[in-house]
Chain A
């Protein structure tokens, strides 16, 4: 799991760069580096479906963010009290690490035998649905109801974007 640790460290560095660097375009590029690192992490964890989706959504959001930030000269909000944020960070980071350590201890190790539920899908998925890709079989057959809700969320967000943008256009 050395690769995953290297990728995680690079992603943390890119996230810190995204917060601290000057200029919006540099921030967008650093955010893109975080997303690409996540794609690589999915690939190393042997989840190609997630990796493909993460990569294409990352590209799309980068294009939209780049178009939105090029030529934008809005000033960035600077925190007035640097001391307060550092203090809160020192307080919360050990707390966070403590809880994550407790949580990870209960999880099975990466790559260890699959849990009961997943084993059922892997054994019967091909026979029940006839789909060779088990991920498709689960999201569109066993868990189709979830996907329907997800599609509704996407419809709502598109409608919301169109409503907001339209009002902006009409004020002119």
Chain B
């Protein structure tokens, strides 16, 4: 039988079902960060975990065909700069990190001024950063095994 990359067929079938649910849960945790426990950091790690799930189940080469590595590397500093930009926006109102946007009605999804935007910036940073780390470290492992063969 031909050896396929990644894990067995059972794992791949289950992965197809569960990945979207994990991704959706991460988006929920991220967007409701100012209303319920969670926020940008936890949401970013959960979304990064859903992509790591794909990489683990289907194998690195197969998964990276559909994911743009350059784009993920690009998103990480963009998240940091977005966060800094939101902080600098506060200077228009007087000081650094001032919450200048309208607060809105409490307990609504669109409320709390800059806090949801900060959550999204932190999500980009954490999610892209940790996923990049994982990809880089799995590459390192493959390199080491190559050296062992020589």
Contact = CB atoms under 8 A, between A and B. Distances in A.
A, B co-complexed: yes
Interface of A: 48-49, 51-53, 56-57, 59-60, 63-64, 67-68, 71, 126, 128-133, 135-137, 139-141, 144-145, 147-148, 151-152, 154-155, 157-158, 161-162, 165, 168-169, 172
A52 B37 contact: yes
Given A130-B112, A162-B136, A165-B136, A155 B125 contact: yes
Interface stretch (B1-9, B13-21, B113-121): B113-121
Contacts of A151: 79-80, 83, 122, 125
A53 B130 CA distance: 14
Contact of B136 (A145, A155, A161): A161
B91 interface: no
A131 B109 CA distance: 10
The SS class assigned to the A binding surface is helix
Given A128-B99, A158-B130, 10 more contacts: A53-B45, A63-B134, A67-B141, A136-B33, A136-B34, A140-B39, A140-B118, A140-B119, A158-B133, A172-B143
A60 to B, nearest CB: 6
A64 B80 contact: no
10 contacts: A51-B37, A53-B45, A60-B45, A130-B104, A131-B112, A132-B35, A133-B38, A148-B84, A157-B129, A157-B133
A60 B130 contact: yes
B139 interface: yes
B41 interface: yes
Contacts of B96: 145
A148 B85 CA distance: 11
A161 B133 contact: yes
Contacts of B52: 60, 63
Q: How many interface residues does chain B have, given as a range?
A: 35 or more
A2 to B, nearest CB: 25
A135 B39 contact: yes
Nearest to B76: A158
Contacts of A144: 87, 97, 118
A49 B35 CA distance: 11
A53 B41 contact: yes
Contact of B106 (A126, A145, A165): A126
A165 B114 CA distance: 36
A47 to B, nearest CB: 9
A103 B105 CA distance: 43
B137 interface: yes
A133 B146 CA distance: 49
Interface string B10-45: 000000000000000000010001111111011001
Contact of A52 (B29, B34, B80, B113): B29
